[in-house]
Amino acid sequence: MKTLQDVQNEILNGSKTIRQIVDESISSINDTKDYNAVLRVYSSAIIDECILNAEKMFKEKSHTSLTGVPIIIKDNICVKGEIVTAASKMLENYIAPYDASVISKLKKAGAIIIASANLDEFAMGSSTENSAFGPTLNPFDKQTVAGGTSGGSTASVALGNTVVALGSDTGGSIRQPASFCGVVGLKPTYGRVSRSGLIAMSSSLDQIGPVANTVNDAFTIYNIIKGKDSLDATTVEIDDNKVVNVKKKIGVPFSFINKDGIDQSIKADFESSLKEFESLGYEIVDVSLPSFDKALAMYYIVCPAEVSSNMGRYDGVRYGASAPGKTHIESFSNTRSEFLGPEVKRRILVGTYVLSSGYYDAYYNKAEKARDNVRNELNEVFKTVDVIATPVSPVLPWKIGEKADPMSMYLADVFTVPVNIAGNPSIAIPTKRKLGAFKGSIQLIAPHFGENILHRLSTDFEGLQR
Amino acid sequence: MSLSTETINYLAGLSRLNIKDTEIEKLASELSSIVDYVSTISEIDVTSKHDVLSHNVFRDDAVTVEAGVFKVALLKNAPKTNGDYISVVKVL
């Protein structure tokens, strides 16, 4: 079973009950335990509640395309009454007091919220190696990483635990693991999906998005979770049923892509993908995006800065783990030092530095202004092309433990990070080519709120990958 | 190295983190290479006028959640409680 429709057909034609579908999912999760994609199956209380709701919806003929279908949730999204850890010892026993807005929407659509997926701790990383509960192994090669930070979400779909999952993307954290696991991953426009109930990492960059086997399924989930939310003031009301006027042009920043460090097999796969677009009548246009060169530097200023602020709440007082201290300040330091992992600490320290007196203007303020450059350049380019295409990652999935140096891990984010910096929507789609053990992948970037354009072009491209 | 161990200790104090003596050299080295990399931001030209795309979004100044709805769940997550209060280390 690969798609939402496959799962639902079995329910609708009576060959399986919802309960059986759910049990199969849980069996699959248990059978693939050694990949460490799923952190925990949710309690029977919530699963039973979801099943009852789904059965009711089918009976009343009010079902959606998601009704009765199990979905796995990245463990930084709150599900009421369930433990949510952000893959950190700090929240190892924390129970979410409310549903994230996206979870409420999924429940309303009749989805079965079934299990939580592994991630890099507090969504910081590019491989899921930073999880306090062990890395997630790549479904194609157990010695390599699944990608991150939504490695658990993408691996669980690739392993067949469920056909859909939710991830979150701050600098590529849905798209990159989607490419490493051979599945589809969509990062919506910033502001399109509510962040209420998403454990905050970098508030001007984070977005929740779907992981699926097909483009259509990814957009089905997207359409259910999107929307203005009074609980997230950064969400917007937008009419995205506008007719899309397709120019049939795809922009490629060739000089940026052809820099040193891109794996030759990835480059070859990308070039084949561009030829495939040409066979569909698309014109490939060389575009200039000079600000992309510095987007990674902007990101590794803005993101740690926001992280240092968002991590301030973990002090062992109101929730989370707690360590004692002689004074209250000592108890904060002891708590944070004992229960936060090394990458989280690194980012807190870098963030503190770039926000500190004497450095704020040169770093954080400058980076925030520089984001305009990326936004403006993209807006200019989108006057003449429908989407921009790039590879997703410059390197193939690496061996677990291989990238010990933080900077070398950061450099793997070059193609995905500029998108979050500017807030644009973007999708990673697998190609039919094999790069060693792995599938090729391509990234398409659209104008703000251009999810319709992404849907159209990715569907066209996907059609050639069968 | 662009970040000295003194600076790391200063930042650690600000962010309420304890850095062990055995960790500090490695941390200073890692953070220095990160800061060196992001320092290339100085090469970018930015306009002095920053397009502030965000605007304030207010909600009505009204109660939206009934009192006590989350109390039990919130207190359950607190490391130490005393009745309906969260217990903390002495401040004064």
Note the pLDDT of residue A454: 96
Note the pLDDT of residue B47: 76
- Neighbouring CB atoms inside 10 A of A237's CB total 7
Note the pLDDT of residue B49: 66
User: Contacts of residue B34 in chain A, CB cutoff 8 Å?
Assistant: 300, 346, 350, 406-407, 410
Note the pLDDT of residue B51: 66
Instruction: Return the ∠ at Cα A387 (arms to A194 and A390), rounded to 5°.
Output: 95
Whether B11 and A353 lie within 8 Å, measured CB to CB: yes
Instruction: Return the ∠ at Cα B61 (arms to B56 and B63), rounded to 5°.
Output: 130
Note the pLDDT of residue A240: 74
User: Contacts of residue B37 in chain A, CB cutoff 8 Å?
Assistant: 296-297, 300, 407, 410
- SS3 call for A249: strand
DSSP A365: I
- SS3 call for A145: strand
DSSP string, B45-81: ---SS-----------SS--S-TTTTHHHHHHH-SSE
Strand-pair category, A283-286 with A249-252: parallel
Compute the mean pLDDT over every residue in chain A, rounded to the nearest whole number. 96
Using alpha carbons only, how large is chain A's radius of gyration in Å?
A: 21
Note the pLDDT of residue A140: 98
Q: Which amino acid is at A196?
A: S
**Integer Cα distance of A177 and A429 in angstroms:** 11
Whether A320 and B79 lie within 8 Å, measured CB to CB: yes
Whether A318 and B89 lie within 8 Å, measured CB to CB: no
Residue A28 has pLDDT above 70, yes or no: yes
Question: Measuring CA to CA, which residue among A301, A423, A443, A155 is closest to residue B41?
Answer: A301
Q: What is the mean pLDDT of residues A212-219?
A: 98
pLDDT digits (tens, 9 = 90+) for A171-181: 999 999 999 99
Q: Positive or negative, the Cα torsion across A181, A149, A444, A207?
A: positive
Whether B37 and A372 lie within 8 Å, measured CB to CB: no
The H or E element that residue A440 is part of is strand A438-445
Note the pLDDT of residue B1: 76
Q: In Å, how far from its chain's centre is CA A65?
A: 22
Q: Measuring CA to CA, how many Å separate A38 from each of A26, A71, A303?
A: 10, 12, 26
Which residues have C-beta within 8 Å of that of residue A10, sequence separation ≥ 6?
A: A1, A16, A21
Q: Measuring CA to CA, how many Å separate A356 from each of A135, A257, A353?
A: 33, 34, 5
User: Contacts of residue A329 in chain B, CB cutoff 8 Å?
Assistant: 16
Residue A1 has pLDDT above 70, yes or no: no
Give the residue from B2, B5, B6, B17 with the most A CB atoms within 10 Å of its CB, the best one to mutate.
B17
Write down the ipTM of this complex.
0.95
Note the pLDDT of residue A271: 98
Residue A132 has pLDDT above 80, yes or no: yes
Confidence of residue A108 (pLDDT cuts 50, 70, 90): very high
Cβ atoms of residues A110 and A94 within 8 Å: no
Note the pLDDT of residue B48: 64
Q: Which amino acid is at A101?
A: S
Confidence of residue A393 (pLDDT cuts 50, 70, 90): very high
Question: Helix A101-108 crosses helix A215-225 at what angle (to 10 degrees)?
Answer: 110
> Which residue's entry shows tokens 């209420």?
A196
Residue B50 has pLDDT above 70, yes or no: no
DSSP A126: S
Note the pLDDT of residue A70: 98
Q: What is the mean pLDDT of residues A343-369?
A: 96
- SS3 call for A464: coil
